[in-house]
Amino acid sequence: MGPIVPIFEISTELNFLIAFIIGIGFGFALEQAGFSSSRKLAGMFYGYDTTVLKVFFTAAIVAMIGLVFFNYFELIDMSIIYVNEYFVNSAIIGGVIMGVGFIVGGFCPGTSVCAAAIGKIDAMAYLGGSLIGIFAFGETYPLWKDIYMKNYLGGVKLSTTLGISDGLMVFGVIAMAVMMFWIGEWAEKKFRRPDITNEL
């Protein structure tokens, strides 16, 4: 038994529909986790609120455990799962730009859409800014192409690069996540700020 819906037997339209439904779920989860508040997001950097870390690590852990066990029980085929391609230069430069934008604007691209959807004006401004950025990048793409495409490594997995099994990698990430949870809890106490829930 392979993927429940084989890739060859699904039309593009249905594919988009499934993506749409998953997208709604994603946005809902983001909003529920409080990611539409830029104070909560920025709290990660100052240590008074580690929700971001907890949510993202939880998502990663659930997905990882699910994939490993589904693979073991032959419900999913790991070999045909798309692994995002790795361009070293783009990842580093993009990561820096994204980090600066994150702390300055108070949103990451996904959460800005989420916050704009519930009517936050700063999020709309942020969204407009990122759209202008995308447009500018698209128009000047030939200038960046060389840097953008440099050091292409393909769809590599961390476990294969380190030479360990997927299961061991999962365990390592989980151990790290649990450790980060406790550190986060500790940090939240240490850098506690007055409760802002009512102001939001």
Partner 1 sequence: MKYKIRPLGIIMVSIFGFLVILTFYTDKSQFELTGKEMHAKVLAANYKLSNEDALGMNGAKLVDIRDSKSFRLVPREGAINVPLASILSDENKAFFQTDAPKVLISDDAVQSHEAWMLLTQLGYENLYVTEEKQPEKPKEDDKPKTPIGPRKVISGGH
Partner 2 sequence: MNARVILSIIVLGFGLTAAMLPDRKNDSIALNERELLQEMLLANNYLSVDEVAELLIQGDPSVQLIDVRPASEFKDPLPRAMNIPIDSIFSENYAFVFDQSAMKNVIYGMDDQLATQVWMITKQLGYKNNYLMKGGLNAWKSNILDPQYPSQTAPQEEFDLYAKRMASRQFFTGAKALPKVNIKPMMPVQGRKKKRVAGGCS
- The residues that touch partner 2, with contacts defined as CB under 8 A, are 1-3, 6, 61, 64-65, 68-69, 71-72, 74, 76-80, 165-168, 170-171, 173-175, 177-178, 181-182, 185
* Residue 74 near residue 3, CB atoms below 8 Å: no
Residues between 57 and 116 with contacts to partner 1, criterion CB under 8 A: 69-70, 73-75
Give me the least distance between CB of 178 and partner 2, in Å please: 5
Between 109 and 167, whose beta carbon lies closer to partner 2?
167
Q: Give the integer Cα–Cα distance in Å for 64 and 47.
A: 26
Question: How far apart are CB 40 and partner 2 at their closest, in Å?
Answer: 20
Nearer to partner 1, 75 or 180 (CB): 75
* Cβ count within 10 A of residue 40: 22
What are the Cα distances from residue 69, in Å, to 52, 167, 173? 26, 9, 15
Query: Residue 13 to residues 18, 19, 81, 181: CA-CA distances in angstroms?
Result: 9, 10, 20, 40
Residue number, 147 or 178, with CB nearest to partner 2: 178
Q: Are 143 and 136 in contact (CB under 8 A)?
A: no
Least Å from the CB of residue 97 to partner 1: 39
Using alpha carbons, select from 88, 89, 68 the residue that is nearest to residue 156.
88
C-beta of 8: minimal distance to partner 2 in Å?
Answer: 8
Q: For binding to partner 1 (CB under 8 A), which residues are involved?
A: 1, 69-70, 73-75
